Chains A and B, each alone.
Chain A
Amino acid sequence: MELTDIELVAMARAGDERRAFATLVRRHQGRLRAFLLRLCGDSALTDDIAQLTFMKAHASLKAFTGGGSFRSWLFAIAYREFLQDARKGKAAARLETALKTEPQHEENLEPGMSIDLRRALSNLDEMERASILLCDAAGFSHSEAAAAIGAPLGSIKTYVARAREQMRALLSAEAPRPGDLSTERSTEGTCHAL
């Protein structure tokens, strides 16, 4: 039977750190890097931030209290690292460069749609982009996304609704209809049926 994240953290604390943490890395690295890649648009920066995230998580694993989910704690570290990098101004420049270059991980998707999707995402501000990625793409609940981003729950719901509205307008090339916000779907729990 597959161990839960909390059980693996407990194992790591009990002394079997190497094996337990390796399992946690293998379980979460793909989705964490997908989140970062869609957030910053640069695969080298993504890997740098993901590496730093896991190293910090490894160093402070004993500080994880288990109050929330492990993945939201992990994504919170990654998001803080991303913001630190963004404050240095590197992320903005890299995102601009990445948008001008060919996509590096897009071959599984319809190319045109994927580029549209990237463009639509890049038009959102950081909080909206992070919120919609966590809730609609990664399957986080609003509470988990709030913990990961470090924003109030109500703000996350607003960011997700606003991001959906903007993306809908951009992807369908129609003017946004103010009364058509999908806030009725933004209830506590998951952002969409999981």
Chain B
Amino acid sequence: MPSDAIEDLLKTDFDALADKLDRDRFADRLLFKLGARQRARLGVVAFAGGLGAAFAASQFVEVVNSIAPSLAASAPELGAGQTPQFLATLLLAGALAMTALVVRQDA
């Protein structure tokens, strides 16, 4: 048997096998597993964010009480009753922006 025939035999066998393996679900399974690490990271970030938000919320009344008088003084157009809502909106917007930044980096 000439060397050419052995090469042809090996190549035919290899190409047929590679073609068959190309069509199974290995790549999908592998990419799902690789994505799992990123999903876990996002989960940790979300958990840490939630924990931080819960802590911030528990302190919110004290924070508002300490900041609201000076905010009301510097921005008299805000009614005294609106200051806590304004602060809450500000904090929420900041938290959303930071979360969006983290998620964008992971996407």
**Interface membership of chain A positions 161-174, coded 1 if the CB is closer than 8 angstroms to chain B and 0 otherwise:** 00010011001101
CB atoms of B26 and A50 under 8 A apart = yes
Closest 4 CB pairs of A and B: A30-B22, A137-B14, A172-B1, A108-B16
The reply to whether B17 and A117 contact each other, CB–CB distance below 8 Å, is no
Number of B interface residues at 8 Å Cβ cutoff, please give it. 27
A38 to B4 alpha-carbon distance, docked (Å): 19
| Residue B50 CB within 8 A of the other chain | no
Which residues of B sit under 8 angstroms from A21, Cβ to Cβ? 34
How far, in angstroms, from A30 to B27 measured CA to CA in the complex? 9
A33 closest partner in B (C-beta):
B21
Given the interface contacts A30-B18, A105-B17, does A117 sit within 8 Å of B26 by beta carbon? no
Q: For residue A25, which residues in chain B have a CB less than 8 angstroms away from its CB?
A: 27, 30-31
Tell me, in angstroms, the Cα distance from A63 to B11 when the chains sit together: 31
Cβ contact within 8 Å between B27 and A34: no
Closest-CB distance, A5 to chain B (whole angstroms): 16
The size bracket of the interface on A is 35 or more
> Which B residues lie within 8 Å of A29 (CB)?
21-22, 26-27, 30
What are 17 sample pairs from A and B whose C-beta atoms fall under 8 A apart? Answer: A29-B26, A29-B27, A31-B14, A34-B14, A34-B17, A38-B17, A50-B30, A105-B17, A105-B20, A105-B21, A108-B19, A108-B20, A133-B10, A164-B3, A164-B6, A172-B1, A192-B4
Of the listed stretches A51-59, A65-73, A86-94, A146-154, name the one at the interface; the rest are far from the partner chain: A51-59
Residue positions of B touching A, CB distance < 8 A:
1-4, 6-7, 9-14, 16-22, 26-27, 30-31, 33-35, 38
**B interface: dominant SS:** helix
Once A29-B26, A30-B19 are accepted as A-B contacts, the answer to whether A139 and B11 lie under 8 Å apart by CB is yes
Choose one: A35, A51, A168; the contact of B6 (CB below 8 Å).
A168
Residue of B nearest to A163 (CB): B6
Q: Is the interface of A mostly helix, strand, loop or mixed?
A: helix
Asked if B35 and A18 sit within 8 Å, CB to CB, the answer is: yes
Inside 8 A of A164's CB, which chain B residues have their CB?
Answer: 3, 6-7
Contact of B6 with A171 in the complex, beta carbons under 8 Å: yes
Cβ-based interface call for A83 (8 A): no
User: Nearest CB to that of A37 among chain B residues?
Assistant: B17
